[in-house]
Structures are given as C-alpha cells and as structure tokens.
Structure 1
Amino acid sequence: MSGPVNLADVARRAGVSQATASRALSGHPHVAGTTRERVWEAARALEYVVSPDASGLARGTTGRIAVVVPHLARWWFGAALEGLSEVLREAGRDLLLYRLGDAVSRQAFFDELPTRRRADAVVLLGFGVDERERERLDRIGVGIVAAGTRVGSHPSVSIDEYAAGRQAMDHLVHLGHRRIGMIVAADPEVDLAQPAGRSSAYRAALADAGITPDPALTVTVSWSAEDGARAMGELLGSPDPPTAVYAHSDEIALGAVRTLRRSGLRVPEDVSVIGIDDHPLAATTDLSTVAQPVGEQGDLAGRMVLAGLAGEPVDPVITVPTRLVIRGSSGRPPAPRPANRRP
C-alpha cells in the first residue's frame, strides 16, 4: 500500500466503520470482543500508527506517561518506579504501567506498540531492547527515556556498571584475596541487552592485580537468592574454592551467604562476600555492597521526560554515582594452612 496508512484503511480491512475502528483501538467498552480483535488484527497487519490529529492526542496533551518494566516483584523496579511516579504525580501526569512478562508477551507488546499511542512519552525501566524493538519504539513518535540502562541514542539515566564492579572487586583485592569467585546474574528471557560492565570489571581487576582468572570460579545463574545459594554450592565444590565471592546483586550475595553458613563456614572469616545495589536487606544482614541510588534514577528519568515535553534541553546521558559500603561480610582472607610436615 502506497502512502501513509490511515484509520479508513484499517476500518476497510476490518470491514467496519471508521467510528467503530476508532472505538476499538481506543479501548471503548461498547465494542464486541470479536470486532475489537478484528480491528486490532487489521491495524497490526497494516502497521497503523494512531494519528495525533485524528485522535486528538497531540503530543504532550494526553497527560499520561507510559512506563514499561520487565518485573514488578523485584526490589529495584519498585524503588525506581516510586521515584518516577512521585515526580509525575507532582507534575499532574498520570502513569500507565506496562509489564512485559515472558518472551511471548514481550513480543506481543512491541508488535502492538505503534497502535498504542496513548501517552506523551515512554519510560523504559531496567531493561534493554534489540534492534527490532527499538524500531517499534521509534515508530510511535513520542519521547523515549531509559532508566537503569541505555537504549540507543535516547536519553538515559543509569549507574556505571563497570565502575560499580570495580569498587566491589578492588575492595576484595585490597583485602588480600587472590581466589575470588564471581556469581553472574543473567535474565535472558527479558533482559536482551544485559550489561556486561559488572563482569568486565571482574576480569580487569584480576588482571590489574596480576591474578590469573580461573574459569571454575565463575558461575552464571538467574537473578534470585535461591540461584545465588546454588551457585555458591558450585563454587564450594571446585577443587580450590574461593576465599571471597563477588556477586552481581545483593539478592544473589545473600543466597551465597546462606549456603556458606549452612556449610559450616564463617562469613567473613572463611569466605568474604560482597554484592551490588544496597538492597534494603543488605544493612539488616550486614552485607558489604556497592550502593546505587535507585529511587534517584527514577526521579531523574521523570524529570528528563518532563523537560523533553516542555521543549527544554535534556542531557542525553546521566550517570549517577555508586559508593562502596563496607559491612561485616567482607574481611581479610584466612591464613594459609601450614604444610604437613613429616616427623
């Protein structure tokens, strides 16, 4: 089809009037389910983008900001969402929350994105996108802001993942540890652009200290305390277990501590543990960590959105600082055992 697709094209393909097509796409309750689905199928097939003029949703006039998250139960997303929602509330903006869910739901969300222009801007919280998803985002013609990650050339606010990893690793190396394990956190189902900074920091810190990395001391698991506990078990099963463990998140670090204590090992006298994030439980459990200001990232993302809608200049990249928090889970390595001597 030549030329831009309009609502009449969608209505014609679906076999309904333009008024019915408009009501179906806007979620009007007085449209039969089968009719609504037929209109949506037509819109998806034609890659129809809702016209601001036709719908009355001129940019900056809906009063709504769409926020997309991969998870709701995890602490990081809740803390970032709280900071973001407070800024939007004070500005009189409504928040539309979308949870991606599994890989199938994620694909469906991005497939339908061009027809869902119901907001003035979109904020992506804590996940990256692939090239196809980025193209779908660009098609809706509104401002995009990312928090906790970077998405192409769109404005973003996040920590320096590498710098955070180096703070954790340099602390362990400074304490005198040479056998340092790493538990990598991965969420391949939804985090397509998992940042590599925390892993590269591990390798760089070892290289700077003249330590040859041992592949047996790196374990990759999903992002949960239970998997952290399992990973620690694998590390303890290696021929030469680590004297310290660097975990990609505090949840994973806390799982590792549980396994160590259940194995009769002392933390940090036998094995030191450090994480990243400064989860609310980190202080309670005396966990050493690298703190990141999660709520502040949500707050800044909200301010970036509002500035863009007001036509004000927006910093393309904001990097918030992290800081090392030393608590009771990290200490010097245990003294080497004396070699057995024959009488």
Structure 2
Amino acid sequence: MGAVAADRAGDAGASGTRGKVTITEIARQAGVSAPTVSRVVNGRADVSPSTRARVEDLLLRHGYRRRAAAPGTRAALLDLVFDGLDSPWAVEIIRGVEEAAHAAGAGTVVSAIHGRSGDAREWMRNLRARASDGVVLVTSALEPLLHEELRALGVPLVVVDPAGSPVLGIPAIGAANWSGGLAATEHLLSLGHRRIGLIAGPPRLLCSRARLDGYRAALEGAGVAPDEALVVPGDFHPESGFTGCNALLGLPEPPTAVFAAGDQMALGAIEALRRRGLRVPQDMSVVGFDDLPEVRWSAPPLTTVRQPLADMGTLAVRTVLRLARGEQPDSLRVELGTELVVRSSTAPPAP
C-alpha cells in the first residue's frame, strides 16, 4: 500500500457498492477541473477552502484512496489516533508504537481527535490523502460512518484500550483491568483496611468500568459490603484526584485508604492529603493504576498497578501490519497482564 499520483479512485482498493470513479468524474461532480482535484488529493495549498471542502467531501463519499505505489517504493505509514494527548499515559503508548514501527521500517503519524466529530472527519480526510497503511486507535470511539470509510478504503484498524465494547471483527488490545482493580483493593484489604475509597475513571470507558468491578469484587470477596458513598468520579487527570480525595475526606466517616483508578489521580489525591496536613501512608494509604515513570519518584513512591502500556502499543503495531499484509491475528481480543507494584504509599491503617 502506498502513495503516488492520483488518477483513478477505483485503483486504490475502494470496496463495497461504491464502484470505481475517476478523478474526471469527481471533478465533474464538484464543478472543477481534474488538475484541481489532483491538487486537493496531493495536499497542495493553491486551492480555495470552499473548493477543497467540496472536493474532499466527494472523495470521502466515493471512498477514494490514492493509488498504491509499486512494492518496495516506500515504507509503510501508520496512523496513531488518540482522543487527547495531554497525559504521560499517551506518551508510554507512543513509545511502544514508535519502537515497533521503527523496527518494521514504518513511519508514524500521531493525531488527537478530542472526541469531536469535526476533528475526526478532518483526520479522515488527511488519512485518505496520505494513503495510510493502517490505523491504531487508542481509547477513542469513531462514529460508525468513519468505520465504514476505513473499511471502504481497505485500511486495517486495531483498537487499543477500547472506549466501549469492542466493535465486531476489529482487533482490540487492552490490559487486565478487572484483575488489576481486584489486586489493588485486595492489597489494601490485606493491610487491614475496610473503608476503602475509589476515585473512578470516566464511566464511558471500558477500562474504568472493569477497574470498578474489580474493586467491588475484592470487597465482596472479603465480606466487606461496598459503600457507594466511597466511590467518587474522576477523569484520569490530577485535578479530579484532588477533588475526589477532598470529597472522600469530607464524608462523616472518611476512608482509611484510597484506590485511584489512574496514577495521575493518585498524585492529585496525595496533594489533597498534603494540603490538609495528612501523611501518606500514616494517615491514609493510596494506590494508583498505570505505573507511569514519575510515580516511583513521588513522595512517597506510589504503590500502583502496572499495566504494560508500551507493550500494548507494540502489539498493536505488529497486529495492524499483519492485517496490512493480508494476514489474520491469532485473536481479536487480547488482554495483557497487569501487576501490583508495592512501594511506600501503603501501610496498615492507623489505630
């Protein structure tokens, strides 16, 4: 798969009932010349915004993709797409993707669509123009129409940490979030804690719901009735950990330990405790989830659940390249193991 001159949309592998369409036909429908359509396809700047939008709309509707180059004329090009890039978590995924892509001689384009339909459609237009060989979608959800467009273009897709239930037929790679939530909570229970707060992740995300279920399962397994007042919402950012911990401390009977479903929220919780003059772990134990590089240097170093973020990115690249070669993955759903890493932020509850 590759990118060279644009002359016949049908040669690019558009499938389904759309049929083949020439650049001339797209030009006729757009009311412009064929060279103008070629300039749009090749990303040239000398086209007015209104004309560009009209032509891109027709190219998208016809499932157009630039014709493939001869084998060996260029390296593969992969698209790595996030909902947002404002997290060290994303950096770890990128590290794994980049290492695997480099080893395979492939280039990587990183994008963020921020959950907005307009951003996603703009990304799709750019993807079509650069003739990407595969897409790795991270903790995001594409609207069904864009899934159809990828299918029509013949661009393989792999999802990492799917936002919702995995889409039928699309490979998904995640971590064992349920068992990670279970392990974090069981660790606190083993230290003697019985009132354990949870700062949860966004409920729209599958990983958040799995960690919450693991937390509840650990409590029930220990004969501790789950108290919904001890579960507060978060969004994986430090501010929500700070706010969530303050909410837990404001309860008539605060918890003696907190499980934050993401490391950044755990760091926010530690800051909330520090500002109240409370010590970790003497006054309250804190557990995170991710094992981001910075948490081993926090004060105190954070007990957390390690999920193999870089490995998830690496496996996603290997899977999407297999799909691009016409091979099928061994499994459509892969969960990599998580591991509890005990450091200094947890201890038995104070008398």
Report the TM range for the smaller structure's normalisation: 0.7 to 0.9
- Asked if 1:297 corresponds to 2:312, the answer is yes
**Contact 1:50 1:114 (C-alpha < 8 Å) held by counterparts:** no
Corresponding residue number in structure 1 for 2:224: 211
Q: Which residue of 1 aligns with 2:93?
A: 80
Q: Which residue of 2 aligns with 1:10?
A: 26
- TM-score, normalised to structure 2, is 0.84
Contact 2:261-2:288 at 8 Å conserved across structures: yes
After superposition, residues 1-343 of structure 1 pair within 5 angstroms as: 4=19, 6=21, 7-44=23-60, 47-51=61-65, 55-56=67-68, 63-109=76-122, 112=125, 115-116=128-129, 118-129=131-142, 131-149=144-162, 150-186=166-202, 195-285=208-298, 286-316=301-331, 317-335=333-351
Q: Which amino acid aligns with 1:95?
A: T
- Once the two structures are aligned, what percentage of the paired residues are identical? 35
Equivalences, count: 327
For the 8 Å contact 1:274–1:287, the answer to whether it is kept is: yes
Alignment RMSD: 2.6
Corresponding residue for residue 341 of structure 1: none
Which whole-Å CA distance do the structure 2 matches of 1:73 and 1:269 have between them? 32
What TM-score comes out, normalization by structure 1 length?
0.85
Task: Kindly state the Cα deviation for residue 3 of structure 1 after the two structures are TM-superposed.
Answer: 5.4
Shift of 1:140: 2.7
Amino acid at match of 1:332: P
Name the CA shift for 1:319/1:175 in 2 (closer, same or farther; >3 Å). same
Any unmatched runs of 5+ in structure 2?
A: 1-16
Q: Deviations over 1:99-123 (max 9, x none)?
A: 1135244453477488557111111
CA distance in 2, matches of 1:110, 1:135: 15
Shift in alpha-carbon separation, 1:260–1:114, aligned structure 2, 3 A: closer
**What's the CA shift for 1:58?**
8.1
SS of the residue 1:222 aligns to: coil
1:147 and 1:272 map into 2 onto residues whose CA distance is: 31
Q: What is the letter of the counterpart of residue 239 of structure 2?
A: E
Alignment partner, residue 338 of structure 1:
none
Distance 1:170 1:253 in 2: 17
Whether contact under 8 Å (1:114, 1:137) holds in the other structure is no
Alpha-carbon distance in structure 2 between the residues aligned to 1:43 and 1:158: 34
Amino acid at match of 1:237: G
8 Å CA contact 2:238, 2:266 repeated in 1: yes
